[in-house]
Amino acid sequence: MNIILFGPPGAGKGTQAKYLVNKIGGFQISTGDILRDEIKKDTDIGKMIINDMNDGKFVSDEIVNKLIKVLIIDPQKKNKLIFDGYPRSLSQAKDLMSLLAESNQKIDLIFFLNVNKETIIKRVEKRKNIENRSDDDLNTILKRYDTYMKTTRPVLDFFSKNQNFHEIDGTLEIQEITRKMDTFINV
């Protein structure tokens, strides 16, 4: 089973992805984690990524798709992928569908955790105190939220036509969001 989790920064995608990984024995594909790993390794790609992230921009589709492709074609991960915040653009969505088709896979479920800006601010401030993530600067998050809402709208429109697309109120408590997602998962 392959699942996509959408939602703005701070929506709880990572928390729900970890739950789904345990539930279905899958692999979390978090572009945020992959990009932060490149930054830690201090690669040339990592340096380009940090500049984009600090400016509140998304990393280029070319870079993200190159890093994601390696994971999608991994035979051990086949049909066990939990996409956490990917795809973020229409181009990434189309590339994802092509990559999955090439490896004889499909998306089984799509969840959109819809969260307002006020909730995001509260969650990010709390997460910053707990996890001390470098990308949790409030101004950066607000830029990323606005960019997300603008850039991801076409992606949501693209996927919302699928019968396996489900919008969930992301302002609910973690356990309630999990319970709502569970109603759609037949494992």
The domain limits of the chain are 3-182
pLDDT at 144 over 80: no
pLDDT, one tens digit per residue, over 14-39 is: 899 999 999 999 999 988 788 888 88
Query: pTM for this one?
Result: 0.83
Query: Which has the minimum average pLDDT: 44-48, 52-56, 104-108, 167-171?
Result: 52-56
Largest CA distance in the chain: 43
Kindly report, residue by residue over 48-67, the tens digit of the pLDDT. Answer: 888 887 777 778 888 888 88
Nearest of 166, 117, 173 to residue 141 by alpha carbon: 117
The architecture that CATH gives domain 3-182 is 3-Layer(aba) Sandwich (3.40)
Quick: pLDDT tens for 94-103.
Answer: 999 999 999 9
Structure tokens belonging to residue 1: 């089973």
- Collapsed DSSP state (helix, strand, coil) of residue 76: helix
pLDDT of the residue at 135: 57
32-60 burial, b at 16+ Cβ within 10 Å, e below that, comes to: bebbbebbeeeeebbebbbeebeebebbe
* DSSP for residue 172: S
110/20 Cα distance (integer angstroms): 12
Strands (E), the chain: 3-6, 27-30, 81-84, 109-114, 165-169
Structure confidence by residue, pLDDT tens digits, 112-138: 999 988 888 887 777 776 766 655 577
Q: What angle do CA 53, 9, 119 make, to 5 degrees?
A: 135
